[in-house]
Structures are given as structure tokens and as C-alpha cells.
Amino acid sequence: MPLSLILTHPGGSHKDELLACCLLAAVHRVPIVRREPTAEDLADPTIAVVDVGGEHAPERHNFDHHQFPADTPPICSLSLVLQHLGLYEDARAFCDWLEPAEWFDTRGPNTTAKWLGVTRESMTKLTSPIDVTILRRFAKAKRLEPGEPLWEILSYIGSDLLDYLRDLRSRLDYIALHAKIWNLGDHEVLFLPRTEPLPDEPSSGIERYIESLGKDTTVAALIYPDRRGTGYGLSRHNDSPLYDFTRIETQPDVHFAHARGFVAKTSAVELDRVKELLSLAKV
């Protein structure tokens, strides 16, 4: 059901309701209002009530978590909106910042810092002036309409997050279909062949795909289509010391090798030659 309005609480603003509103704004492109909800608002399925109202009823677009028992696993209004959009599991898998955001909103900064294994001061040092400004401006707003600068920024944030999650899932499916894992004894190499059409960012998603293979994975190097050329890129995975690609910088079909040895580019397309270059780069 399409929305007519997104409603969230007045006063101080936090990342969870701001990002939840960003997602809903990107999907529905309706005004955002900051005030306390009425009973009529909560009953109206065309009004999304976010982070306020004491009710989680996604069938009526009500997304509050504050009424959950204290021992509920950390979950915030952003989590509830992601669940509603069918993207929560992918967001937990692909957005490393989401779980800390859930902890911060539901457990506070001190408990979150302890959970992360860092000091409270360390977390403060990571605060961005971008976050401060957007949250402050959002907190001061009473009503934001599509076309207004802040509303459009929020919509961009929501759209980019949606695109990232949907594109990455599609990308991981593509990699799973085409990638090969070469077992070289003491380690593995991931090879992604050139396909037609070639994706815009051929190496995008490879790291996440390797993570999905599990902790026992021993991938030390990657071979993937070079988006700027006709051949392949070769790179270390997790900065593995097993490969130094400066060792192949003088090869006639290698047109780039980074001085720190973590990546090289070759015009070679024959698989045997690519394997030979990989072997020459082995330390």
C-alpha cells in the first residue's frame, strides 16, 4: 500500500529513525513530519509511524521498538523497516555498520563500546561532521517535502542503501554462478572469468562472496576481469604475503603492477598465461 506520510518523533534525532525515514522516503517519495502520533495516525496504514507510537505493526506501517522487553536482542526502527522491505538479512550480512547501530540505539554508547571491545573515547573519535549536521538539521525540521534540499539528501541516502543491497545480492548470485576456486595446496585462488556482457564493476562483491564461503576459506589471491582493459586484474586477498605482483612487472603483457605489490593488470586473456603470471608472482 502506498504511503501518504512518514511520521517520526520530534526532538533529538538518531541514526536509526533517520535512516528508516530515508528508506521509506526513497520508496514512497512522500513528506516526512516530526511530531507525536495520534491514535488516528497509528490506525491509518497510509501513514508510516517510525520510532514512536509504542507499536510494531508493519501491516499498518508502524515501526516502533521501544515497547520491546529489555532482554530483546538489539533491534531498532531501522531494523524493522528493513525487515518490512525484505532486506534485513542482506543488510546484516553486507552492512557492517548495522549491528553496531542497533546496539548503540538500544544499549547506549558505553555498553556498545564494551561490546565492540573499544573505549568510549574511541567511538567519539569516529564521529563524522556529516552525521552531526544531517542529524541536527533533521531534528530541527517539522515537515520536509519532496524537492526540499534536506528531504532530497535523505532520499538519496535511502536510494543508495537500497541500490547497494539489491545490486550486491544480484552481484553475489552472479559470482556464485561464474567463479571458480582453484586449490593450490596450501592456499586457494578465486578466478572470475570474463563474460559478455561484462559487469560495470567486475570485481565488485568478490570480498563479500569469499566471506560467505566461511572461515575455513584459504583464498590468498584473486583473478578477475579488468574493467579498463581486455585482460585480467590479479590481486592479493586480505593482503596475503604469498603473492608479490611486483615480481611480474617486467613481463611484456603486464601493463601495471603497484609498487607495493598487491595488484597487477595484464592484457593476457589465455587462461594458461594468466596462471603462469600468478605462479611467477608467488613468493
Identify the pLDDT of residue 1: 79
- pLDDT bucket at 184, cuts 50 / 70 / 90: very high
Q: Are residues 71 and 15 in the same domain?
A: yes
Identify the pLDDT of residue 87: 96
Q: Does residue 173 lie in a domain region? A: no
Q: Are residues 227 and 147 in the same domain?
A: no
- pLDDT bucket at 126, cuts 50 / 70 / 90: confident
User: What are the tens digits of pLDDT across the range 197-227?
Assistant: 888 888 889 999 998 888 788 999 999 999 8
* Contact indicator for 39, 7 with CB cutoff of 8 Å: no
Q: Does residue 172 lie in a domain region? A: no
3-state secondary structure 191-248: ECCCCCCCCCCCCCCHHHHHHHCCCCCCEEEEEEECCCCCCEEEEECCCCCCECHHHH
The Cα–Cα gap between 110 and 87 comes to 29
- pLDDT bucket at 157, cuts 50 / 70 / 90: very high
Q: Are residues 184 and 85 in the same domain?
A: no
Angle between helix axes 77-84 and 98-116 (nearest 10 degrees) is 140
The answer, yes or no, to whether residue 72 has pLDDT greater than 80, is yes
Residue with grid cell 554462478, as numbered in its chain: 177
Q: Which of 110, 136, 167 is the last residue of a domain?
A: 167
Neighbouring CB atoms inside 10 A of 271's CB total 12
Identify the pLDDT of residue 199: 84
Residue with grid cell 536482542, as numbered in its chain: 73
- pLDDT bucket at 75, cuts 50 / 70 / 90: very high
Q: Are residues 88 and 185 in the same domain?
A: no
CA 255 to chain CA centroid, Å, is: 32
Q: Are residues 13 and 40 in the same domain?
A: yes
Identify the pLDDT of residue 201: 84
User: What are the tens digits of pLDDT across the range 10-41?
Assistant: 999 999 999 999 999 999 999 999 999 999 99
Residue-range definition of the domain harbouring residue 54: 5-167
Identify the pLDDT of residue 214: 82
Q: Which of 116, 133, 167 is the last residue of a domain?
A: 167
Angle, alpha carbons 257-262-265 (nearest 5°): 35
* Contact indicator for 178, 192 with CB cutoff of 8 Å: yes
How much is the pTM? 0.83
The Cα–Cα gap between 260 and 169 comes to 32
**What average pLDDT does the chain have?**
95
